[in-house]
Amino acid sequence: QMWVEGTLGIVPKLAPTIMLNEEGENITLSDNTAMFSKWANRWKDEEPYRFTKAIHNYAATNLIPRHLGPEYVIHGAKLYSPWDPARTHITLVIMEWFFDRSLNLLKNLDSKDHPFSQVIIMIPPSVTNTHDYTQYTSVPVTLQFRDQPDVMDLCTANVETEWFMITNSYHLVSRHVDLMFTPGKFVPVVPFTPATYPFCLKYPYCKEIIMLAQRWNPSHSKVVLDMDMLYHTKERNDFCREWTERNGDDGSDLYAVHQPMRWKLKGGKIIGPKGPTATDYLAYLGREKLDGKMYKMTDRSLYGAR
Protein backbone atom coordinates (compact mmCIF):
# COMPACT_ATOMS: atom_id res chain seq x y z
CA GLN A 1 0.00 0.00 0.00
CA MET A 2 2.77 2.47 0.95
CA TRP A 3 4.82 1.44 -2.10
CA VAL A 4 1.90 1.97 -4.50
CA GLU A 5 1.11 5.34 -2.97
CA GLY A 6 4.76 6.40 -3.01
CA THR A 7 5.55 5.31 -6.58
CA LEU A 8 2.22 6.02 -8.28
CA GLY A 9 0.67 8.65 -6.04
CA ILE A 10 -2.52 6.58 -5.70
CA VAL A 11 -4.10 7.05 -2.28
CA PRO A 12 -6.14 3.96 -1.25
CA LYS A 13 -9.89 4.37 -0.87
CA LEU A 14 -11.37 2.58 2.12
CA ALA A 15 -14.99 1.71 2.79
CA PRO A 16 -16.63 4.38 5.00
CA THR A 17 -17.64 1.81 7.62
CA ILE A 18 -14.01 0.73 8.04
CA MET A 19 -13.04 4.34 8.78
CA LEU A 20 -14.97 4.35 12.06
CA ASN A 21 -13.70 3.77 15.58
CA GLU A 22 -15.49 1.75 18.28
CA GLU A 23 -17.74 4.74 19.05
CA GLY A 24 -18.79 5.09 15.40
CA GLU A 25 -16.78 8.29 14.91
CA ASN A 26 -14.87 9.00 11.69
CA ILE A 27 -11.14 8.30 11.64
CA THR A 28 -9.07 10.77 9.62
CA LEU A 29 -5.83 9.44 8.18
CA SER A 30 -2.85 11.76 7.84
CA ASP A 31 -1.55 12.67 4.36
CA ASN A 32 1.63 10.62 3.96
CA THR A 33 1.99 10.65 0.17
CA ALA A 34 5.06 12.91 0.19
CA MET A 35 6.82 10.78 2.80
CA PHE A 36 6.00 7.54 0.95
CA SER A 37 7.29 9.11 -2.29
CA LYS A 38 10.55 9.98 -0.55
CA TRP A 39 10.90 6.41 0.67
CA ALA A 40 10.16 5.07 -2.81
CA ASN A 41 12.92 7.23 -4.35
CA ARG A 42 15.33 6.12 -1.65
CA TRP A 43 14.70 2.40 -2.21
CA LYS A 44 13.82 2.31 -5.91
CA ASP A 45 17.10 0.63 -6.89
CA GLU A 46 17.09 -1.86 -4.00
CA GLU A 47 14.77 -4.43 -2.47
CA PRO A 48 12.28 -2.25 -0.54
CA TYR A 49 10.84 -5.05 1.60
CA ARG A 50 12.09 -6.88 4.65
CA PHE A 51 10.42 -9.93 6.13
CA THR A 52 10.01 -10.40 9.87
CA LYS A 53 7.90 -12.40 12.31
CA ALA A 54 7.87 -9.45 14.70
CA ILE A 55 5.11 -7.74 12.68
CA HIS A 56 1.78 -9.24 11.68
CA ASN A 57 -1.07 -7.79 9.63
CA TYR A 58 -4.47 -8.58 11.13
CA ALA A 59 -6.33 -5.88 9.19
CA ALA A 60 -10.12 -6.19 9.50
CA THR A 61 -9.84 -9.30 11.71
CA ASN A 62 -11.65 -9.94 14.98
CA LEU A 63 -9.39 -11.67 17.50
CA ILE A 64 -9.08 -12.80 21.08
CA PRO A 65 -5.64 -13.10 22.75
CA ARG A 66 -5.43 -16.85 22.03
CA HIS A 67 -5.20 -16.09 18.29
CA LEU A 68 -2.07 -13.97 18.59
CA GLY A 69 1.37 -15.35 17.80
CA PRO A 70 4.90 -14.25 18.70
CA GLU A 71 4.62 -10.92 16.87
CA TYR A 72 5.39 -7.67 18.73
CA VAL A 73 3.81 -5.19 16.32
CA ILE A 74 0.18 -5.84 15.32
CA HIS A 75 -1.60 -4.01 12.53
CA GLY A 76 -5.35 -3.65 12.21
CA ALA A 77 -6.61 -6.24 14.70
CA LYS A 78 -9.91 -5.85 16.53
CA LEU A 79 -8.95 -7.42 19.85
CA TYR A 80 -11.77 -8.65 22.08
CA SER A 81 -12.00 -10.55 25.35
CA PRO A 82 -12.66 -14.31 25.50
CA TRP A 83 -15.54 -15.94 27.31
CA ASP A 84 -15.23 -15.78 31.11
CA PRO A 85 -16.85 -18.81 32.83
CA ALA A 86 -17.09 -16.88 36.11
CA ARG A 87 -19.29 -14.23 34.49
CA THR A 88 -21.24 -15.98 31.73
CA HIS A 89 -23.13 -19.28 31.91
CA ILE A 90 -24.30 -20.64 28.57
CA THR A 91 -26.59 -23.53 27.56
CA LEU A 92 -26.32 -25.32 24.22
CA VAL A 93 -29.71 -26.19 22.72
CA ILE A 94 -29.55 -29.05 20.19
CA MET A 95 -32.38 -29.55 17.69
CA GLU A 96 -32.88 -33.31 17.24
CA TRP A 97 -35.30 -35.19 14.97
CA PHE A 98 -34.49 -38.82 15.84
CA PHE A 99 -33.14 -40.42 18.99
CA ASP A 100 -29.41 -40.72 18.36
CA ARG A 101 -28.23 -38.14 15.81
CA SER A 102 -26.88 -35.88 18.55
CA LEU A 103 -24.70 -38.59 20.09
CA ASN A 104 -21.72 -37.80 17.90
CA LEU A 105 -21.77 -34.20 19.06
CA LEU A 106 -22.06 -35.22 22.72
CA LYS A 107 -19.33 -37.88 22.52
CA ASN A 108 -16.86 -35.25 21.34
CA LEU A 109 -18.00 -32.42 23.58
CA ASP A 110 -15.58 -32.98 26.46
CA SER A 111 -12.58 -32.89 24.13
CA LYS A 112 -13.49 -29.38 22.96
CA ASP A 113 -12.71 -25.98 24.43
CA HIS A 114 -16.28 -24.72 24.83
CA PRO A 115 -18.34 -22.49 27.16
CA PHE A 116 -21.41 -24.70 27.64
CA SER A 117 -22.40 -25.58 31.20
CA GLN A 118 -25.66 -27.32 30.19
CA VAL A 119 -27.11 -29.06 27.14
CA ILE A 120 -30.78 -29.31 26.16
CA ILE A 121 -31.80 -31.76 23.43
CA MET A 122 -35.10 -30.95 21.73
CA ILE A 123 -36.69 -34.18 20.50
CA PRO A 124 -40.05 -35.21 18.97
CA PRO A 125 -42.66 -36.49 21.45
CA SER A 126 -42.89 -39.78 19.57
CA VAL A 127 -39.24 -40.71 20.20
CA THR A 128 -38.34 -43.24 22.88
CA ASN A 129 -34.97 -42.26 24.26
CA THR A 130 -33.09 -44.47 26.70
CA HIS A 131 -29.55 -43.10 26.40
CA ASP A 132 -27.47 -42.51 29.51
CA TYR A 133 -25.75 -39.29 28.47
CA THR A 134 -23.35 -39.39 31.43
CA GLN A 135 -21.47 -42.04 29.41
CA TYR A 136 -20.70 -39.48 26.72
CA THR A 137 -20.15 -36.11 28.41
CA SER A 138 -19.62 -34.57 31.83
CA VAL A 139 -21.88 -31.66 30.87
CA PRO A 140 -25.41 -32.08 32.30
CA VAL A 141 -27.84 -33.06 29.53
CA THR A 142 -31.61 -32.51 29.64
CA LEU A 143 -34.12 -34.02 27.22
CA GLN A 144 -37.08 -31.85 26.29
CA PHE A 145 -39.92 -33.37 24.30
CA ARG A 146 -41.39 -30.88 21.86
CA ASP A 147 -44.97 -29.75 22.26
CA GLN A 148 -44.72 -27.46 19.20
CA PRO A 149 -43.13 -27.82 15.72
CA ASP A 150 -39.34 -27.85 15.54
CA VAL A 151 -39.32 -24.34 14.00
CA MET A 152 -40.34 -23.11 17.46
CA ASP A 153 -37.35 -24.62 19.31
CA LEU A 154 -35.76 -21.18 19.68
CA CYS A 155 -38.75 -20.09 21.75
CA THR A 156 -39.78 -23.28 23.51
CA ALA A 157 -36.42 -24.50 24.88
CA ASN A 158 -36.60 -24.32 28.69
CA VAL A 159 -33.27 -22.60 29.30
CA GLU A 160 -32.21 -21.82 32.88
CA THR A 161 -28.86 -20.11 32.27
CA GLU A 162 -28.58 -16.40 31.45
CA TRP A 163 -27.45 -17.07 27.88
CA PHE A 164 -27.80 -19.85 25.31
CA MET A 165 -26.88 -20.84 21.77
CA ILE A 166 -28.68 -23.18 19.38
CA THR A 167 -27.45 -25.79 16.90
CA ASN A 168 -28.74 -29.05 15.47
CA SER A 169 -27.76 -32.69 15.68
CA TYR A 170 -25.99 -32.63 12.32
CA HIS A 171 -23.27 -30.31 13.64
CA LEU A 172 -20.24 -30.76 15.87
CA VAL A 173 -18.87 -28.29 18.39
CA SER A 174 -15.69 -26.60 17.13
CA ARG A 175 -12.34 -27.48 18.68
CA HIS A 176 -12.30 -23.96 20.12
CA VAL A 177 -15.61 -22.14 20.57
CA ASP A 178 -14.15 -18.65 20.47
CA LEU A 179 -16.96 -16.44 21.75
CA MET A 180 -15.89 -12.81 21.82
CA PHE A 181 -16.86 -10.07 24.26
CA THR A 182 -16.03 -6.39 24.39
CA PRO A 183 -13.42 -5.43 26.99
CA GLY A 184 -14.86 -3.55 29.94
CA LYS A 185 -18.61 -3.82 29.36
CA PHE A 186 -18.21 -7.49 28.39
CA VAL A 187 -21.09 -7.64 25.89
CA PRO A 188 -21.13 -10.40 23.22
CA VAL A 189 -19.68 -9.71 19.78
CA VAL A 190 -22.05 -11.09 17.12
CA PRO A 191 -21.44 -11.13 13.34
CA PHE A 192 -24.10 -9.97 10.92
CA THR A 193 -24.54 -9.79 7.15
CA PRO A 194 -25.78 -6.46 5.77
CA ALA A 195 -29.19 -6.70 4.13
CA THR A 196 -28.01 -5.34 0.79
CA TYR A 197 -28.72 -6.72 -2.67
CA PRO A 198 -25.36 -8.49 -3.19
CA PHE A 199 -25.36 -10.14 0.24
CA CYS A 200 -29.04 -10.80 0.91
CA LEU A 201 -31.86 -9.22 -1.07
CA LYS A 202 -31.21 -11.14 -4.30
CA TYR A 203 -31.84 -14.39 -2.39
CA PRO A 204 -35.58 -14.99 -1.76
CA TYR A 205 -35.14 -16.68 1.62
CA CYS A 206 -32.85 -13.95 2.97
CA LYS A 207 -35.12 -11.24 1.61
CA GLU A 208 -38.06 -12.86 3.42
CA ILE A 209 -36.07 -12.94 6.68
CA ILE A 210 -35.53 -9.19 6.47
CA MET A 211 -39.15 -8.49 5.52
CA LEU A 212 -40.32 -10.41 8.59
CA ALA A 213 -37.78 -8.69 10.85
CA GLN A 214 -38.95 -5.30 9.64
CA ARG A 215 -42.37 -6.05 11.11
CA TRP A 216 -40.60 -5.46 14.43
CA ASN A 217 -38.33 -2.65 13.37
CA PRO A 218 -38.91 -1.04 9.93
CA SER A 219 -35.31 0.21 9.76
CA HIS A 220 -33.73 -3.15 10.54
CA SER A 221 -30.97 -4.07 8.06
CA LYS A 222 -28.85 -6.80 9.67
CA VAL A 223 -29.15 -10.56 9.04
CA VAL A 224 -27.88 -12.82 11.83
CA LEU A 225 -27.63 -16.59 11.43
CA ASP A 226 -29.60 -18.44 14.09
CA MET A 227 -26.53 -20.42 15.15
CA ASP A 228 -24.30 -17.33 15.37
CA MET A 229 -26.43 -15.57 17.97
CA LEU A 230 -25.79 -15.72 21.69
CA TYR A 231 -29.32 -15.33 23.02
CA HIS A 232 -30.10 -13.62 26.32
CA THR A 233 -32.70 -15.88 27.92
CA LYS A 234 -34.81 -13.19 29.59
CA GLU A 235 -34.99 -11.07 26.44
CA ARG A 236 -35.66 -14.23 24.39
CA ASN A 237 -38.61 -14.95 26.66
CA ASP A 238 -40.06 -11.46 26.20
CA PHE A 239 -39.50 -11.58 22.44
CA CYS A 240 -41.08 -15.03 22.10
CA ARG A 241 -44.08 -14.08 24.19
CA GLU A 242 -44.88 -11.31 21.73
CA TRP A 243 -43.92 -13.42 18.71
CA THR A 244 -46.43 -16.15 19.61
CA GLU A 245 -49.13 -13.59 20.39
CA ARG A 246 -48.69 -12.26 16.86
CA ASN A 247 -48.13 -15.48 14.97
CA GLY A 248 -49.62 -18.32 17.03
CA ASP A 249 -47.97 -20.84 19.33
CA ASP A 250 -46.97 -22.94 16.34
CA GLY A 251 -46.26 -20.05 13.94
CA SER A 252 -49.23 -20.88 11.72
CA ASP A 253 -50.31 -17.23 11.51
CA LEU A 254 -46.91 -15.92 10.38
CA TYR A 255 -48.02 -15.47 6.79
CA ALA A 256 -51.63 -16.66 6.63
CA VAL A 257 -52.98 -13.95 8.97
CA HIS A 258 -50.60 -11.08 8.31
CA GLN A 259 -50.35 -11.52 4.52
CA PRO A 260 -53.51 -13.46 3.56
CA MET A 261 -53.66 -12.36 -0.09
CA ARG A 262 -49.97 -13.08 -0.71
CA TRP A 263 -50.31 -16.38 1.15
CA LYS A 264 -53.24 -17.34 -1.06
CA LEU A 265 -51.54 -16.28 -4.31
CA LYS A 266 -48.46 -18.31 -3.37
CA GLY A 267 -50.59 -21.34 -2.61
CA GLY A 268 -49.34 -21.41 0.96
CA LYS A 269 -45.73 -21.85 -0.21
CA ILE A 270 -43.73 -18.76 0.66
CA ILE A 271 -39.94 -19.21 0.58
CA GLY A 272 -39.00 -18.06 4.04
CA PRO A 273 -38.68 -19.08 7.70
CA LYS A 274 -41.66 -20.73 9.34
CA GLY A 275 -40.72 -19.69 12.87
CA PRO A 276 -38.80 -17.06 14.84
CA THR A 277 -35.23 -16.23 13.78
CA ALA A 278 -32.16 -14.59 15.29
CA THR A 279 -32.77 -11.71 12.87
CA ASP A 280 -36.28 -11.27 14.32
CA TYR A 281 -34.82 -11.34 17.83
CA LEU A 282 -32.26 -8.65 16.96
CA ALA A 283 -34.93 -6.50 15.27
CA TYR A 284 -37.08 -6.79 18.41
CA LEU A 285 -34.13 -5.66 20.55
CA GLY A 286 -33.61 -2.78 18.14
CA ARG A 287 -37.21 -1.70 18.58
CA GLU A 288 -36.72 -1.81 22.35
CA LYS A 289 -33.42 0.16 22.02
CA LEU A 290 -31.54 -2.76 23.60
CA ASP A 291 -29.45 -4.06 20.70
CA GLY A 292 -26.61 -1.57 21.16
CA LYS A 293 -26.59 -2.11 24.93
CA MET A 294 -26.57 -5.90 24.80
CA TYR A 295 -24.42 -6.67 21.74
CA LYS A 296 -21.50 -5.43 19.73
CA MET A 297 -22.47 -6.19 16.13
CA THR A 298 -19.67 -6.71 13.60
CA ASP A 299 -20.14 -6.68 9.83
CA ARG A 300 -18.92 -10.03 8.48
CA SER A 301 -18.64 -8.55 4.97
CA LEU A 302 -15.86 -6.29 6.31
CA TYR A 303 -14.39 -8.10 9.31
CA GLY A 304 -13.24 -11.70 9.40
CA ALA A 305 -12.10 -13.83 12.32
CA ARG A 306 -9.53 -16.53 12.96
Question: How confident is the model over 203-257, as pLDDT tens digits?
Answer: 999 999 999 999 999 999 999 999 999 999 999 999 999 999 999 999 999 988 8
pLDDT of residue 69: 81
Please give the pLDDT value at position 22. 60
DSSP class per residue in 189-253? EEEEEE-SIIIIITSHHHHHHHHHHTTT-TT--EE--TTT--EEHHHHHHHHHHHHHHH-TTSTH
pLDDT computed for residue 43 by the predictor: 82
Give the per-residue pLDDT at 305: 66
pLDDT at 79: 87
Q: Residues in the chain with pLDDT < 50?
A: none
Backbone dihedral region for residue 60 (phi beyond 0: left; psi -120 to 50: alpha; all else: beta): left
**pTM of the prediction?**
0.84
